[in-house]
Amino acid sequence: MLVLIIPATGSGTDDGYEYFASLSYFSRPVTFKEWSISVYRKKQGIFIDINNYKNRTLKRPFDGDEYVKLVDFLNRKGIWRLKGNYSKKSKNCYYEMKVQSGGYSNSFRIESGPVLSGEGSRYREMIRYFTNLARLSLED
C-alpha cells in the first residue's frame, strides 16, 4: 500500500499569495492586455511587479510601509465590495482590478474614457494610485 501525504500550506491563496492587488489595462476592440501593475506579499517578502507599463518591466522588493499604505488605501476605497462600471457592449478600453487575500477575492472592470465622478471617482483614485506607484518605482 502506497500512501501519499501532501502537506497543506497556509499561504492564503491558490497562487501562494498572502495578499495580491493588481491593475491591468486592456485595449479594445480586440482584447489585449497592454500593461499591468501588481503588488503582492508572499512568504519570501513583498514585491511590486510592473509589466510593460510605459514600455518598461520591473520586478523588485516593495517597501513595507508603502505596502501598508496601499492596503489601507484600497480598503478605505471599498476594494472588497466594489463592482465594475464596464458594459460588455462597450467598445472602449478598460482597466481590470483584482485583489486577493486569504480565501477572499474580488475583481472588476472599469471603463476607460468616460469621466468618472461622484461615487465613480474612487475608481479613478485607485487607478492613479497604482500608476503613480509604477512611475515612482521606474524612476528609482
- For the segment 48-71, the average pLDDT, to the nearest whole number, is 96
Q: What is the pTM of this model?
A: 0.84
Has residue 118 got a pLDDT over 90? no
| pLDDT at residue 63, as a whole number | 95
Q: Which domains does the chain have, with CATH numbers?
A: 19-139 (3.30.1560.10)
CA 59 to chain centre: 14
Residues 6+ apart with CB under 8 A from 71: 19, 21
Residues 6+ apart with CB under 8 A from 83: 108
Has residue 67 got a pLDDT over 80? yes
Has residue 80 got a pLDDT over 90? yes
Among residues 35, 62, 30, 68, the alpha carbon closest in space to that of 46 is found at: 62
| pLDDT at residue 117, as a whole number | 65
Q: What's the rounded Cα separation, in Å, for the pair 33 and 109? A: 13
List the beta strands (DSSP E) in the chain.
19-27, 32-42, 45-53, 56-61, 94-101, 104-111
Decide which of 128 and 140 is more confident. 128
- For the segment 49-64, the average pLDDT, to the nearest whole number, is 96
Please tell me the least confidently modeled range out of 45-54, 100-109, 120-129: 120-129
Has residue 31 got a pLDDT over 80? no
- For the segment 84-106, the average pLDDT, to the nearest whole number, is 91
- For the segment 99-125, the average pLDDT, to the nearest whole number, is 85
